Structure 1
Amino acid sequence: MTHAWIDASAGVAGDMLLGALIDAGASLDAVRQAVAAVIGDAVTIEASTVTRAGLRATYAQVALQQDDPPHRTWTTIQQMLTAAPLPAPVRDNALKVFAALAEAEGRVHGVPASDIHFHEVGALDSIADVVGVCAALNDLGVGSLSAGPVAVGSGRVRAAHGSIPVPVPAVVELAQGRRIQAGGDGELTTPTGMALIAALAPTDEDLPGIAIQKSGTGAGTKDFADRPNVTRVLLGKSPSHSRSQAVQLEANIDDLDPRLWPGVLRHLMQTGADDAWLVPILMKKGRPAHQLTVLAHPTRADQLEKQILQHTSTLGVRRTTYTKRALARGWIDVPVDGSPLAVKIGHDQGLVLQVMPEFDAVAALAEELGWSERRVLAAAFAAAETFGWSIGSPPPEDFSALRNHQ
């Protein structure tokens, strides 16, 4: 699959990572379209070639075209992303990034994540950076990410709450469990940059064994004489591994208001769970209850465990490690009454094994067309088969052509 490794040894910010991905070949038009879907024409995005300490790089400049409110809440940004007509992988990744930011800011200020008011990271240019990076990754077909040690800087910086030490508190929270280093004077890594790495590149590792196919270098705003102010991205094909480690977290709960469960499950998914579900059970003394189960990558287990303890009434969480086999998968768009609909394709050993429309997209399109959801599903299956994506058959083209292939 296509893997991206982020070199943040000189620091990372949202615009730097966006510039690196555009430099690696991501479509600037795809980035602009995704950002416009969320915030309209409130910003412009331009990419130019610059040098940083003599090293060529791409500078992604996000410029405001209107006055920006002083802050936005996490709930407001969540609603903006959910309502926007974005491809599912772009929307889901952007939600993960802002959820990570909200959790970090909540811990810093001692308030629930839902009550957080973003200042700098809630500005239109920061929203554009996050959505732009997620759109660029989707356009490049990146299925997995990892990152090396992150240079965070040193000294102090002025922010909405006055003069604060570097690394700023939100970066410290987001960097939990990762290797960091000073790397130089000033703020080298911003909360947005750290959140992108924390949410999208859960594995902290030195350069892995990949066959490099593309690379990109993104420039920061400043040009230091003693070191290139850049973030690099290396993309390549990693060896195919059909089996991986997964952690399963479980808790039996008999005293939680059942109206809270949908929010609990939604929050866990936004925090980075691969899946989360409830099973009705009967506990001791004949009490009806629910067994909560969360499946996640091992690097996210600690954070999700904390969320279970915080958002439910359980007194403990069981943890089991499993070996998981997952089909390789990716996305295609098929036309349904002239509108594109995302369909997930699962495959193995050169054959298509699963063809499944994205149900959130099905529900949205059914509402738009005035059709039943069943009718949209049937039309999506028929369209996929018309284009050659049939269960049990070879694909009409190479599987690597699938979006977000992994």
Structure 2
Amino acid sequence: MFLGALVDAGVDLAMMQAAVDALGTEPIRLRAKKVTRHGLVAVKVDVEAPEVATDRRWRSIRAMLEGADLDAAVRDLALGAFARLAAAEAAAHGIAEEDVHFHEVGALDSIADIVGAAAGLAALGIERLTASTVTVGGGTTRGSHGSIPLPAPAVLRVLADAGAPVVGAVPYEACTPTGAAIVAAAAAGYGSLPELVVDRIGVGAGGRDPQERANLLRLIVGHEVTPARRTGSAHVHRGGHDHGDASGHGPHGHSHGAHGHDHGHGHDHSAHEHVAPASEHAPPAAQAHQGSPAPSAKPVVIETNVDDLDPRVWPAALAALLAAGASDAWLTPIFMKKGRPAHTVHVLCRPEMIAAVRSALVRHTTTIGMRSYEIEKYALERQYKHVNVDGHEIGVKIALEHGEVVNASVEYEDAATAAAALGRPLKVVIAQATALAAEEY
């Protein structure tokens, strides 16, 4: 539904296809067509992907996104969506975020949904997006673990962490984890349609066509009207009697935004949302989003000294920081005043992820404050590939300089899993995977 609304609003489907192709996965095709729902014309985008048995972990998806040739804004939004899903799945199943296996949401079509939506929203040049109350639905559905209640636990956790208002309203699944993650990652706030001058409207359709309401997601792109100036904003609305709005500001003062209005609830990775322009009255999550720097800003290191945390907690805390969007996180042992042993936790992140990383530091450690500073960073070009060691798929991160492969790093957890299954020493499996990766270059 998001992809359809974006295409109907003028985003080139080929551009979204190129972003999906950059992931380097199995072939995925996006196809758009006009449909009607309750007499209203909309665009439906079908994601055609092969059935694969790969059970993708969060770290694998993160490495794939980081290694893909994507614009920074697209990568950051996609990473933000999956980071929220990882945190929600970890909370629902009581496991560490790094150990989360994406089943339905990790399938190729859902990865394409998130990356395609991120590319489409970036193409619109929206600076601010707001959404309506999310209709989540009710009842039960089937998942990889059997029957689960609706709204799905991951949906509720993603939207709760985002501070999004929700309502049941319908006796079926109206919001999937994928749709919730896109809303949570993209929306700066929630509320009614803001005052704006409409530039264009995009209407996306889901596969489901219920009798009681049109299964549509509406994206309204326009210029927001404020007392001091006119700015671009966007409003998204999804679902029946509810209205959704999203406001966005473009990069040059004369900006474009989107307003979405959706009349119905579909099962197709979408959410019922009403997006309103963020303001000083927006919830904390929205205010943090408004204050996010431009993607071109320098990376940042955030640090804090901690002397009262059970050291057994540190592995989980570092994993939580990475799941929140940190590029890296590490510890340095130190001595503080009165000779107390302690640790400095260092977190490297992009400016867009500062708010999420700070929140993770506060939640998962005992810190009550932190410092940060910009740094210069030199990073090699990266690609993420998979090799097969006797039937076991192992991820490999490839580093290139001026087009030449200079390093190949095997994913430790994948290799460890394969070694245990094959009954071989871990070092042997790592060597086999590294050799297979070298053969490709």
- The normalised TM-score by structure 2 is 0.60
| Superposition deviation, residue 131 in structure 1 | 0.7
Confirm or deny that 1:36 pairs with 2:28: no
**Distance in 1 of aligned mates of 2:348 and 2:26:** 39
Confirm or deny that 1:156 pairs with 2:116: no
Show the 5 A alignment for 1:123-142. 123-142=107-126
Confirm or deny that 1:172 pairs with 2:137: no
Structure 1 residues not aligned, in runs of 5+: 1-15, 321-356, 371-406
Show the 5 A alignment for 1:345-384. 360=379, 367-369=401-403
CA contact (8 A) 1:32 1:132 kept: yes
Letter in 2 for 1:100: R
**Corresponding residue for 1:252?**
305
**Corresponding residue for 1:189?**
175
Letter in 2 for 1:308: L
**Corresponding residue for 1:61?**
46
**Distance in 2 of aligned mates of 1:278 and 1:208:** 45
- Cα pair distance change 1:282/1:367, threshold 3 Å: same
Q: 1:27 aligns with which of 9, 12, 29?
A: 12
Confirm or deny that 1:203 pairs with 2:203: no
- Cα pair distance change 1:163/1:36, threshold 3 Å: same
**Distance in 2 of aligned mates of 1:180 and 1:189:** 10
Confirm or deny that 1:118 pairs with 2:102: yes
Cα deviation 1:308-332 (Å, max 9, x = unaligned): 2555xx4243499xxxxxxxxxxxx
| Superposition deviation, residue 67 in structure 1 | 2.9
**Corresponding residue for 2:410?**
none
- Cα pair distance change 1:70/1:282, threshold 3 Å: closer
- Cα pair distance change 1:274/1:44, threshold 3 Å: closer
Cα deviation 1:139-192 (Å, max 9, x = unaligned): 222222221101111111111111111101110101102211123221011000
Secondary structure at 1:221 match in 2: coil
Secondary structure at 2:155 match in 1: helix
- Cα pair distance change 1:182/1:262, threshold 3 Å: closer
| Superposition deviation, residue 133 in structure 1 | 0.4
| Superposition deviation, residue 196 in structure 1 | 0.6
Confirm or deny that 1:232 pairs with 2:209: no
CA contact (8 A) 2:137 2:175 kept: yes
**Corresponding residue for 1:333?**
none
Secondary structure at 1:69 match in 2: coil
Letter in 2 for 1:151: T
| Superposition deviation, residue 211 in structure 1 | 2.8
**Distance in 2 of aligned mates of 1:369 and 1:162:** 46
**Corresponding residue for 2:62?**
78
CA contact (8 A) 1:102 1:116 kept: yes
- Cα pair distance change 1:254/1:32, threshold 3 Å: same
**Distance in 1 of aligned mates of 2:24 and 2:115:** 10
Cα deviation 1:364-400 (Å, max 9, x = unaligned): 9981356xxxxxxxxxxxxxxxxxxxxxxxxxxxxxx
Show the 5 A alignment for 1:299-378. 307-309=360-362, 311=364, 314-318=365-369, 360=379, 367-369=401-403
**Distance in 1 of aligned mates of 2:57 and 2:51:** 17
**Distance in 1 of aligned mates of 2:184 and 2:108:** 21
Range moving further from structure 2, 47-56 or 262-271 = 262-271
**Distance in 1 of aligned mates of 2:212 and 2:121:** 31
**Distance in 2 of aligned mates of 1:25 and 1:265:** 41
Letter in 2 for 1:193: G
CA contact (8 A) 1:281 1:291 kept: no
Confirm or deny that 1:219 pairs with 2:205: yes
**Distance in 1 of aligned mates of 2:44 and 2:379:** 35
| Superposition deviation, residue 363 in structure 1 | 8.8
- The normalised TM-score by structure 1 is 0.65
Secondary structure at 2:195 match in 1: coil
Larger relative contact order (C-alpha < 8 A, sep ≥ 6)?
Answer: 1
- Cα pair distance change 1:165/1:100, threshold 3 Å: same
- Cα pair distance change 1:206/1:190, threshold 3 Å: same
**Distance in 1 of aligned mates of 2:44 and 2:403:** 41
Secondary structure at 1:199 match in 2: helix
Secondary structure at 2:31 match in 1: strand
Corresponding pairs, count: 316
Letter in 2 for 1:90: V
Letter in 1 for 2:153: P
**Corresponding residue for 1:284?**
337
Structure 2 residues not aligned, in runs of 5+: 225-229, 232-248, 254-278, 281-286, 293-301, 384-398, 405-441
- Cα pair distance change 1:151/1:160, threshold 3 Å: same
